[in-house]
Amino acid sequence: MEVKIYKDYNELSAAAAAMIIDCIKSKPEALLCFATGDTPRLAYQKAAESAIGDKIDTSGCFFIGLDEWMGIPPTNTGSCHWFLHEYLFKPMDIDPTQIHLFDALAANGEEECRKMNKLIAVNGIDLMVVGVGMNGHIGFNEPGTNINSLAHVAALDEITRTVGRKYFEDEVTIGKGITVGLKQVMETGKLLMMANGKKKAPVIKKTLEQAIGPDFPATFIRQHKNGFLLIDEEAASELKTA
Ligand code: GLP
């Protein structure tokens, strides 16, 4: 794993966008997996601008969503589904046949996981972009998740449920999430983990300085052969070596 520190959110986002575009250029049939959240929003906007502006051919790529809030409809502006369409797929002009997202309204969550597991097993994820939760989660791989986990429905912990309210305009009940598993995160061709801002500084300190293990899933990135932790100076501000 490599740690890259950028001056601010704008430079961090530009770097992540460039890595997304490089992946698509070097492998036009790439499978890309994207997180949602405040962190990657600008990177996605920049990647979409670049793809359209530079006429990058994205027609052979396939896109999957990292996670979703169970029970939240795709029309809800707090859903991962809505986010990815709004900031990435629509601006990048991606055809719906090139996208697979978890169905948060599915009666059978296990079946949703099986579909995602199959897709990943057949193609292999070339590039994954993730954020990191205040409790160290990756996607909805909450603290305590087994490193060998595949896609699963997860009971969300207190921190995730509390922090998660920021995405929703109205009061919603968020109890469970559905997510690509840690094993699949670790097997990606390239893993980009992004974090910015002062509030992520303690999270990044733990990610890099705490013992690697399920108590803080983000620590596993240190074992990824092609992992990149992209952070801004504020997020790096509590590191011993920063
Ligand atoms: C959310 C999402 C994650 C995201 C993380 C960080 O709960 N499920 O996929 O990466 O938490 O979010 P943010 O970027 O808003 O800090």
CA 214 to ligand 1 centroid distance, Å: 17
Angle at which helix 41-53 crosses helix 9-26, to 10 degrees, equals: 50
How confident is the model over 150-162, as pLDDT tens digits? 999 999 999 999 9
Domain locations along the chain: 2-186+195-219
Q: How far is CA 11 from CA 46, 183, 203, 237, in A?
A: 11, 30, 20, 16
In this predicted structure, what is the pLDDT of residue 242? Answer: 54
The single residue listed with the structure tokens 């990149």 is 228
Q: What is the tens place of the pLDDT at every residue in 206-240? A: 999 999 999 999 999 999 999 999 999 999 999 99
Record the pTM: 0.97
Other C-beta atoms lying within 10 Å of the C-beta of residue 223: 11
Pocket of ligand 1 contains residue 142 by CB under 6 Å: no
**Residue 85 falls in the annotated catalytic set:** no
The catalytic residue among 67, 112, 232, 234 is 67
Q: Does domain 2-186+195-219 have CATH number 2.40.50.1070?
A: no
> Residues 11, 14, 77, 183: is their CA dihedral positive or negative?
negative
Q: Of 15, 89, 103, 86, nearest to 58 (Cα)?
A: 89
User: Beta strands 227-232 and 190-195: pairing type?
Assistant: parallel
Q: Tell me the residue type at 25.
A: K
End-to-end alpha carbon distance in the chain: 17
Mean pLDDT of the chain: 97
